[in-house]
Structure 1
Amino acid sequence: MRKTAKEIIADVEEHLTKSNKHYYSDFYVGITNDIERRLFIEHNVEKKSNWWIYRTATNKTVAQSVEEYFLNKGMKGDTGGGTDDSIYVYCYEITNLTKE
């Protein structure tokens, strides 16, 4: 289900409460058009043992606005990535095994 920026931000903020970390800088945020490739292969996030979340935005503009919101809060990542069909917003807890 595609969500608005406000809905995605609320979902991520709620999910953050389930993490042991207390700072936005302990997390990475990004956008992609292929969640499996980007999150679990390229960033090396372990599906079963790492903290992660992703949501589908209504469009790339919405995805970018969510990404920028969390970057401004202090999460790691960068703007300008993705392609025209990058509608997935993802976030994960940075560990010594993940690749930023």
Structure 2
Amino acid sequence: MKFVIEYTKQSDRQSIMDSHSHMALIEEHNTTQGNFLIFSDNYEEDTKQIIYVSVPEEEFGSLKQENTLLKAQSQANSDRADFHEEVLAEIILAINP
């Protein structure tokens, strides 16, 4: 269970922290509406966030293909950069023997 406690001064904040030391501080909000400390007596349950996403099979296949293509492009760019580095090294050695 989450407990939200508002405070106004830093001394109040510390007092609240001390009096709720048996609980986990999971959030702190400092907004124009006020300053809030949010504690939990069940950290595991209160901080768990599960997000389910449903992706159509066709779109999933398309994303996999795009991912494969992007990985290949990235590798090609890396290989090209290595080649350019080697060419530059050879040019420098040819100019300054």
TM-score by length of 1: 0.29
Higher relative CO (CA 8 A, sep ≥ 6), structure 1 or 2?
A: 1
Is the helix fraction higher in 1 or 2?
2
